[in-house]
Structure 1
Amino acid sequence: MAEIVHDFFPLMRVYKDGRIERLAGEGFVPPESDPETGLQIKDIEIDPQINLSARLYLPKSVQKIPLFVYFHGGGFVIESASSPSYHKHLSTVAAEAKVVIVSVNYRLAPEYPLPIAYEDTWLALKWIASHANGDGHEPWLKEHADFSRVYFGGDSAGGNIAHHIAIRVGLEKLDGVKLEGIFLACPFFWGKDPIDGEGENLGAKDFVEKLWLFANPNSLGLDDPLINPEKDPNLSSLGCDKVVVYVAGKDPLRFRGFYYKESLEKSGWPGTVEVVEVKDEEHVFHLFATETENAMSMMEKLVSFLNQS
């Protein structure tokens, strides 16, 4: 039997011979439109040279509607924009919220270690922004996206990415783009020193630290600003006015969601941040138990968030 050198069950395993076995997130759903709701879906290439792509969702609309840029989760090592759980979730969001969605298919570690995922998503965002002033060539964005009402979202590692790309928007700006807010579900944050509640689950810290250093081998550890926003000197530059964070009551990451709120407020960032805790639920529960009362309540909150301006 092949020797395992990295075991991140239930996500992935890496064997001594170099073989990578992804245990989840390998499913694929084709971009089929829904004639019942009028929702159109397609996959597009952003940069074929680096295999950077996205899945686009366009609801039935004759007017300019908000743009929701989404970053999938999976610990930076699994999942894709075309996996069944994200396809189903974002199809529902697009149809109910009446928003254009760009779900970015960034490259995964360990084949493409961090910070490549951050660079991919920034490149995708610059491609998206090129349509704000009429330079881009994607008709769904040129004709239907309202670039004065842009939102980012993501779950787990994707929530981490959404936060950091919003920081970069605040620092570097994107002409013609107004980022209204970010919606983070069970975001993947941690830190070297335990905060209130974390000490009871040392196994979670060990898993997070090993996974983080596996995905980002040049990182300095759990106080790297990429995983611990509180350590980021640019935290107050977050480029939006509104943040909603969902945390799950049974998720070891939940304490970091509350700590993120505290850190943002202490940083001098002038916006508003709300944390919603959903009791008795696991990490990213809304993707796997979509018909539950808690998941539907979260969907209602997201739909409202995307249509507030």
Structure 2
Amino acid sequence: MREAMLYEKTADNCAHCNLCAHGCIIKPGRRGVCGVRENKDGILYSLVYGTVIAEHIDPIEKKPFFHVHPGSKSYSIAAVGCNFNCQFCQNHEISQMPRSTRMIAGEEIQPAEVVASAKKSGSKTIAYTYTEPTVFFELAYETARIAALQGIKNVFVTNGFMTGETLETIKPYLTAANVDLKSFRDEFYQKRCGARLAPVLASLQKMRELGIWVEITTLLIPGLNDSNEELKDIAGFIAGLGKEIPWHVSRFHPQFKMLQTPATPVSSLHRACEIGRQAGLKYVYSGNVPGDEGENTYCSSCGNCLIERYGFQVKKINLTENKCLRCGTELEGIF
């Protein structure tokens, strides 16, 4: 436990949290929406500082990042809690634990220990993932600061519901973020996630302004966010941010409170990818379909296969100094 960052004390010993777009005003003895920030006698504390619920070495492609050190390892950590309550969350056992049980589970570990383990593993990045890094910000910030000093890059896998102040604070140490753009309809965010769309779009724009490398993931759920109209809206928005931004269109599998919803047809993923390409996006990927051609990276100029993948495994890289071997076009990303 540690005093929280990015909050203000208000009247009656309340604490106004400015970490995420919920902007919780937390009374003494109460917690914020995330379930991991608690007001104790007028001081806001992070209950998960120095406590991780998950710690793994993953392929960077699993996050997914396809344009950040392809084929490398990413030391991945998470704490319990989330500021969303998505009905389709695949990690709901840990993301929703503080809400459903008020438990703060995990093993004690300090930021320097995380960095030491990442360095020993040969990982080029530390990923703050599995739940929502915004809500374990103090742990992520201090770990990222130490990691950056030792030449290890830091990446967020996030719902994007943080404030601009949060992004400005982490920016010196954050290399890249994969943001879940779950829908382009506010109704979806309110009903399915307990959140709002506008702050996510604002965060994506802010990340671009700050120079953070961005990749975007949309989990395609049959009948909810997979219409041609909505996919065109998402693709158009991404193209407006930058046509070089990778868009990962991932296959939904029944999870959590949506066990009766069928898995996404692969044909829907291909349709979404084509819509992305028609919008001018250079790199559109189909996810959760191992062996699909949509996993590969192709040159935006000549169509040559630059990175061949199978699932999370990189099978072949056809690049020289991040340039296409056939035509010399540079592949955008972090290498």
Pairwise TM-score range, normalised by the shorter structure: 0.3 to 0.5
Which structure has greater helix proportion?
1
TM-score (ref. length: structure 2) = 0.38
Larger Rg: 2
Q: Report which structure shows greater RCO (CA 8 Å, sep ≥6).
A: 1
